[in-house]
Amino acid sequence: MQRLADLGFMSEGRNLFIVGSTGTGKSYIATALGYRACQKEHKVLYANTAKLMAKLKVAKAKGSILQELKKIERTELLILDDFGLQPLDTAARNLLMDIIEDRHGKKSTIIASQIPIGA
């Protein structure tokens, strides 16, 4: 845990997947790492994945999607909690993949999910 708290993964633009069943502390760990990043003056965005995608859908309808995407782009650490708990439509899935791909190797994303990797 100390190794993660050092935030070395952020300086390398690496992502972190936290996977486990309900009540195992995934959100707690993600939030603690986000708090640590804030202490080190990094820009952090914590969001429930489904709520973030719903917000982006509304922003797209209002014509403000680019501003919202720029906020995400400027974020040094994006934390997506409850990833995969609610199904996303095709447009939301594509947008989420674009966000993750745009950040790949440049800025870090923490994904917390109950769904095992490879499921």
Sequence spans of domains, the chain: 2-113
Can you point out the beta strands (E) in the chain?
16-19, 44-48, 77-81, 108-113
**What average pLDDT values come out for the chain (119 residues) when binned by 10 residues?**
90 95 96 98 98 96 96 98 93 95 96 84
Q: Dig out the tokens for 23 from the structure.
A: 């009540």
Give the pLDDT confidence score for residue 119 in this predicted structure: 57
Give residue 116's pLDDT: 78
| Entry pTM | 0.92
Classify domain 2-113 at the CATH class level.
Answer: alpha beta
Residue 117 confidence (pLDDT): 75
